[in-house]
Amino acid sequence: MPLVTSPDETPLESPGLPPRQRRMLFRALHRGTKECDLMLGGFVSQHIAGMSESELAELELILEMPDVDLTDWLSGRQPLPQEARGPLMDRLMAAVARPGSGLPDHLR
């Protein structure tokens, strides 16, 4: 079950997450652009509770990437550079490539 009902809302079930993961979830949902909030925030809200330590470390790196670049890569407007690749980024790229990804279930 997703941790949030939509990227516009405050995480409803995040109190069960450790503080580090709650901070990352908040950062993923509040990037600065709606597109990135939907793509990255939607993915993180669905998967953060089950992420391994190495995935959390990679997520922290992803969260530090510039919003404009991340949005371009996730939307396919620009190719993902080799130095930005990693197992979690590859999962994220595959997830956002699906139709309706990032949208709440009731909008798909």
pLDDT of residue 88: 97
- DSSP letters, 29-92, are H-SSSHHHIIIIIHHHHHHGGG--HHHHHHHHHHHTS-HHHHHHHHHTSSPPPGGG--HHHHHH
- The verdict on residue 7 lying in a domain is no
CATH number at residue 79: 1.10.150.250
| Rounded distance between C-alpha atoms, residue 96 and residue 108, angstroms | 13
Domain count, the chain: 1
pTM: 0.79
**73-105 pLDDT, tens digit each:** 998 999 999 999 999 999 999 999 887 666 666
Tell me the mean pLDDT in the region 36-49.
92
Q: Using the predicted structure, report yes or no on whether residue 12 has a pLDDT greater than 70.
A: no
